[in-house]
Amino acid sequence: MGWTDERVELLKKLWQDGLSASQIAKQLGGVTRNAVIGKVHRLGLSGRAAPSKPARTVFKAPRPARPVTAAPSAPRRIAEPLPVAAAVQPTPVRYIEEAPGTATVLTLGAHMCKWPIGDPALDNFTFCGRRSSEGPYCHEHSAVAYQPAQTGKKKSGPAELARSLRRYI
């Protein structure tokens, strides 16, 4: 069956009413959904009144949980605090075995050290929990977290500028 003027007008009306191409093809009879889509495209029709059906929400299955394995705790590097005069020298590092802390997320208080110990994904994750004097960490962990500024001679000049710019080129 061909596209008569009456069928084209009915197609335009049904398209503006928001019917799908399949629904229009059934009402017109003798044409396929693809024929309706092609004719709509050739006529340049757009601006539909409303979609015939609301969009379906796509259900995404949850990801399976990661297997929990307890890893042995490795020695952690703890920097020793330096006197101000020694700030230009490299910070000495000592290795200590960091024992599990005494605080969990639920028991952590306002004046307790909030230094994380372990892997947050594991069940044995804790915080240091010792008394913090100033800031969020105890004295030992503050020495690691807040390193003094290096006061040594800084390189400058055209050679240093060229070296720095090469990083970004």
Q: Could you tell me the CA-to-CA distances from 105 to 137, 142, 155 in Å, in that order?
A: 15, 20, 44
Q: Which residues have CB under 8 Å from 20's CB, separation 6+?
A: 52, 53
- The pLDDT tens digits for 148-167 are 776 656 666 787 778 777 77
Low-confidence ranges of the chain (pLDDT < 70): 1, 47-57, 67-98, 150-156
pLDDT at residue number 34: 94
Please enumerate, as own/partner, the contacts of 96-99 that have beta carbons within 8 Å and a separation of 24 or more. Answer: 97/73, 98/73
pLDDT at residue number 123: 84
